[in-house]
Amino acid sequence: MDETFIGGSFLPEAYMGQLSEKDIEMLNPLVLAYIGDGVYEVFVRNLIVSKGIWQPKKFHKEAVSFVNAASQAGMLEVLKDFLDEKEAEIVRRGRNAKSGTVPKNADIMDYRNATGFEAMIGYLYLMKRYDRLREIFERVLIARENK
């Protein structure tokens, strides 16, 4: 994976805010999911472009196959035995958070699990655990390739 995607020059530290570890752990899980959604989206877009998919229709179709609620819930299932205790706790908090809305094309359980997945990604990113994010993204890719 390209070093500039996570860590390195992807985003200068000055733009990441000054949250302490305690602050990050106290964030509403929906805030973590908001950040995680963006981080995962950048990962997916970077991956798609690196695969040489440049036509907008194909690009969009490939991206949607990664970022929809059912896919993210499936990735969480793949990762369940790989997560440490803290990551599993963040997933539970994200899954149990009440967002007030559910997209009309998503199953409620898939949506909640996807929110847990995104919360964990956001948590790891804000904690600057970039090596762990790489490990998780690699597992996601391996699981998709083995489908």
Active site residues: 37
Task: In whole angstroms, give the CA distance from residue 79 to residue 11.
Answer: 26
Amino acid identity, position 145: E
Task: In whole angstroms, give the CA distance from residue 66 to residue 48.
Answer: 10
Question: Taken in order 75, 132, 7, 31, is the CA torsion positive or negative?
Answer: positive
Task: In whole angstroms, give the CA distance from residue 111 to residue 116.
Answer: 9
